[in-house]
Structure 1
């Protein structure tokens, strides 16, 4: 694990702890049983310069695409407030561009908001971890039970499939 990964997730977590105590302090959508936590930030397989994780707060749970290095919105990230589809594992999600001076540009996809469905922080953190596990699971190919069909020419001339020709 790259040393910037925990630092970037920790910076995002710290930022949202500050937001929880300031901008969101008196907002009635807070679930008092929850706290701010950045969970599972790790590189995206096809984009090693991008980290993917989940941010849990008392008012939302978001899937977050966070650059490994702080940057401005633009070429590789959505600009603040703009929406765009992003592939995450086998799924496609709509993300929204965000920018905060303390961490730079990042993209968010709302998973839950508000957070009153969660009885405690452990339940929210477990849900976030399970979402990441499912998104990061690689679909493994299985052996097909459908027989390989012969090529058109092989069929017409009774030669079978390339596999049966190799066995002969």
Structure 2
């Protein structure tokens, strides 16, 4: 199912239901965390963002158009190229969402003491994947000698005067 707007709300709703209905009481859950979709932005593959849950943190890619990617069988993997390198995504399917791709970042989530720490890690991970902004290098600055002799010597050499 293609999305014309960032799909964070739909993704959160689906995984909140999974948390409540399928994951309730599982020992892998970090009770300090909740389901949260972050930073969904358009990229050449569709909508890319991060999903934090009490049991995992993944990069998630959802289609922006009906022909965003060729269908794969659920569970099959696909390598996608981003500015920072190649990442392996696994195809998944949600009844409400249709096909989406996920790339595991963290699981389990015990090492995150709270939602804010998980959110900070998610934002840093996404920034690392999409790559840094181009750095414009300053031209090297030559060391300048401020001695009078060197200054005057340079002037005389350029003018053709002899010492």
The SS at the match of 1:13 is helix
> In the alignment, what sits opposite 1:120?
114
Gaps in structure 2 of 5+ consecutive residues: 141-163
The SS at the match of 1:52 is strand
In structure 2, C-alpha distance between the alignment counterparts of 1:51 and 1:121, rounded to whole Å: 23
> In the alignment, what sits opposite 2:80?
86
- Paired residues for 1:37-56 under 5 Å: 37-44=36-43, 46-47=44-45, 50-56=46-52
> In the alignment, what sits opposite 1:20?
19
2:64 aligned residue (41, 53, 68): 68
Checking the alignment, whether the CA contact within 8 Å between 2:84 and 2:128 is kept in structure 1 is no
Gaps in structure 1 of 5+ consecutive residues: 146-168
Number of positions where the alignment pairs a residue of Structure 1 with one of Structure 2: 137
- The alignment's TM-score, normalised by the length of structure 1, stands at 0.73
Write out per-residue CA displacement over residues 113-142 of structure 1, whole angstroms, 9 at most, x where no aligned residue.
000010001100111011112223244464
Checking the alignment, whether the CA contact within 8 Å between 1:78 and 1:107 is kept in structure 2 is no
Structure 1 or 2, whichever has the larger Rg, is 2
Structure 1 runs (4+) deviating above 3 angstroms are: 138-145
